[in-house]
Amino acid sequence: MAIEAQALQYPFIDPLEAEEFKRCKFSAYYWWVVLHELLGHGTGRMMVEREPGQYNFDINNPPTDPVTGEPIRSWYKPGQTWTGQFEDLSTTVDECRAELVGAYLMDDVELLELFGFTETSEIRAADCMLCQHLQPATTKN
């Protein structure tokens, strides 16, 4: 972030938005990272059968699959792990999930208000949302 702060321009951001971006980019990026780390990586529960017949959830009333709305039908069997099942993709998929959770939650006005970004604060929730959407346009790679 320190090196990026020395950048004189943002080649892929409209000059009319560049000043606004510079004004609130660090606050927006900081809270996106917080959401990425705490909720993207730090939440969720793996459904596991620890040993035959012993589950970390109620097998008679299993959790609902958020995609289908139906009870889950599969879970990790004894000895299976996330990295064991997904191997080389496990880290990539986990990072992708955390990125998406952070970005999705940065568009939640009520959540941003909890962090102090209100309609009357110096940096508003709308400013954070704009910066979040402009952030990918700040690199030349």
Both structure tokens of 40: 């993207």
Which whole number is the average pLDDT over 15-38? 90
Q: Average pLDDT of 16-43?
A: 90
**pLDDT for the residue 141:** 47
Confidence bin at 43 (pLDDT 50/70/90): confident
Tell me what pLDDT residue 9 has: 66
Catalytic residue among 19, 20, 37, 51: 37
Helix (H, G, I), strand (E, B) or coil at 76: strand
What percent of the chain has pLDDT above 70? Answer: 91
- pTM for the whole structure: 0.73
pLDDT for 7 equals 55
Q: Tokens standing for 22?
A: 């510079």
Let me know if 70 is a catalytic residue. Answer: no
- CA distances 55 to 44, 60, 71, 76, 98, Å, are 16, 10, 15, 10, 26
Site of tokens 């909720």: 39
Rounded CA-CA distance 13/10 in Å is 6
Q: What is the mean pLDDT of residues 57-83?
A: 93
89 SS3 class: helix
pLDDT of residue 66: 84
What per-residue confidence (pLDDT) applies to 42? 84
